[in-house]
Amino acid sequence: MPIERTLILAKADAVARGLVGEILTRFERRGFTVIGLKLVQPTSATAKRHYAEHEGKPFFDGLVEYITCSPLVAFVLEGSDVIEGARAVIGATNPIKAAPGSIRGDFAQTIGRNLVHGSDSADSAAREIGIWFDESELLARPPALASWLIAS
């Protein structure tokens, strides 16, 4: 059970619908720790960098427009297997296929407005955290507390 970090974005629709607190709560309730948090108005360049793997796909321009149309809330979670765990809390990319009980399964309808981003691998997490946060903005919990919270 490695202690990992992952990058979460509560995207424009989450902010517009007042769901940021609900989204944060779902991760906190699962036991993951918020170690960095900010409200950001992304530039088009930042959005394109973040979603670089999707450049050239038919939905790319709309995706950039979606995540730059208002401020979003970016946060970094830390915890045991948090990359996979956060993806489970978020649910499938297409909300219609997302399990009830997941964020997308409970609050979203369409793939183009699916509320949340979560890193999909350790490499993606490291790359994406570096786009949105400076290392000095991440305040890790003390190691003693981390091991007390997560008994293996």
Catalytic sites, residue numbers: 117
112 binds ligand IDP (CB under 6 A): yes
Q: How far apart are CA 36 and CA 78, in angstroms?
A: 9
Q: How far is the CB of 120 from Mg ion (least distance, A)?
A: 5
Task: Kindly tell me which residue out of 42, 102, 114, 132 binds ligand IDP, with binding defined by CB under 6 A.
Answer: 114
Question: Closer to ligand IDP at the Cβ: 44 or 147?
Answer: 44
Question: What residue type is assigned to position 115 of the chain?
Answer: L
Q: How far apart are CA 125 and CA 83, in angstroms?
A: 8
Per DSSP, the three-state class of 136 is helix
Q: How far apart are CA 53 and CA 60, in angstroms?
A: 10
Task: Kindly tell me which residue out of 3, 81, 120, 140 binds ligand IDP, with binding defined by CB under 6 A.
Answer: 120
Cβ proximity of 4 and 120 under 8 Å? no
Cβ proximity of 120 and 84 under 8 Å? no
Question: Closer to ligand IDP at the Cβ: 106 or 140?
Answer: 106
Tokens read off for 77:
């979670």
Q: How far is the CB of 108 from ligand IDP (least distance, A)?
A: 10
* Residues in binding contact with ligand IDP, number by CB under 6 A: 9
What residue ranges bind Mg ion (CB under 5 A)? 120
What residue ranges bind ligand IDP (CB under 6 A)? 54, 59, 63, 93, 111-112, 114, 117, 120
